[in-house]
């Protein structure tokens, strides 16, 4: 578990767009997504480090087949995207 470091949370435009789509089409995912973000804030290393072109990014699963992509830079956590597993890796 990470030490008690305070992290700042940044929402990218792509993440904000995906959040709008989720609110409109699948509002039942909002609570699990919020819980996933809270877990990341408590311990940013909880997500799986990705490889190849997505190196330096991490992912965590939310509500089964949905994936939250994020990046840790110093004390900043950038939420990059949120989508279904089958779609998210095709976008990046």
Q: Which domains does the chain have, with CATH numbers?
A: 8-91 (3.30.2310.20)
Which pTM value belongs to this model? Answer: 0.91
Write the pLDDT tens digit of every residue in 23-46.
Answer: 999 999 999 999 999 999 999 999
The pLDDT value given to residue 3? 60
Could you identify the residue written with the tokens 């995912």? 29
The confidence score (pLDDT) of residue 4 equals 78
Pairs from 26-30 (Cβ < 8 Å, separation ≥ 24): 29/62, 29/63, 29/66
User: How far is CA 21 from its chain centroid?
Assistant: 15
């Amino acid at each position: 578990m990470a030490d008690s470091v305070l992290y700042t949370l940044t929402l990218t435009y792509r993440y904000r767009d995906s959040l709008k789509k989720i609110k409109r089409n699948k509002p039942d995912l909002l609570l699990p997504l919020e819980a996933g973000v809270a877990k990341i804030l408590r311990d940013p290393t909880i997500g799986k480090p990705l490889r190849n072109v997505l190196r330096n990014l991490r992912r965590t699963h939310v509500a089964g087949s949905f994936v939250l992509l994020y990046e840790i830079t110093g004390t900043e956590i950038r939420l990059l995207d949120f989508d279904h597993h089958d779609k998210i890796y095709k976008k990046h």
